[in-house]
Chain A
């Protein structure tokens, strides 16, 4: 009986705080993506502007670990029973990926573009005892390109 009450409390807490956290996170992602849209990011191996001389290049990376809340984990468990798309995990992964790319961009604000962007996902603390930890780690890495006279020439793209 006690266990049931505790898990019910967890459910309510998870639902309320998880929803709030997700909404707040999406708001911050949208705002920051708008600011950083001037920094083009591609998965190509060559810079977009081939004629412009390159000053230097460096490896940049950004990563984040995000966890799912108690309510959504239960929901996903139920989904597992019936099959179909698991919406709660979709938003978790979407948030994690976008956050990782944003952090990568924020780590090199003066770069002109980022090429060969790779995104890698791994679930950490998998295979633990009892309840699985529904947390994912997303790592985004790429090469930041700085063109000559980067400061005087605004990005055209």
Chain B
């Protein structure tokens, strides 16, 4: 599966377009991480727990998007965009979307 955030896959030509595919996850961290993060908030610096959490959810959202594209019979996704929003305190929604295409 080729994935890029530009309009095409360099070195290939797009033959078929299937339309938008997307993947999303909403995640919240567990209490341990939350407590650790609030302690870290006093000292400042990187919140490793949150970084990990968002990384995991982003990978999962990407996987879901790829699965959807595969289902359609596409072999590439172009023009991928990420977006993050906090739906509730402590919960983050990761949304990934792009255009599923077939390239040759």
Contacts from A to B (Cβ < 8 Å): 10, 13-14, 17-18, 21-22, 25, 45, 47, 53-59, 61, 63-70, 72, 99, 115-116, 118, 120, 122-129, 133-135, 137, 139, 141-143, 145
| A-contact 0/1 string along B42-56, CB 8 Å cutoff | 111111001100110
Which bucket holds chain B's interface residue count?
35 or more
Chain B residues positioned under 8 Å from A13 (CB to CB): 42-43
Interface members, chain B 13-43 (any A CB < 8 Å): 37-38, 40-43
Chain B residues positioned under 8 Å from A123 (CB to CB): 86
Report if A55-B11 is in contact (Cβ < 8 Å); known contacts: A13-B42, A124-B92, A127-B89: yes
Contacts from B to A (Cβ < 8 Å): 2-7, 9-11, 37-38, 40-47, 50-51, 54-55, 58, 80-86, 88-90, 92
A129 to B, closest residue via Cβ = B89
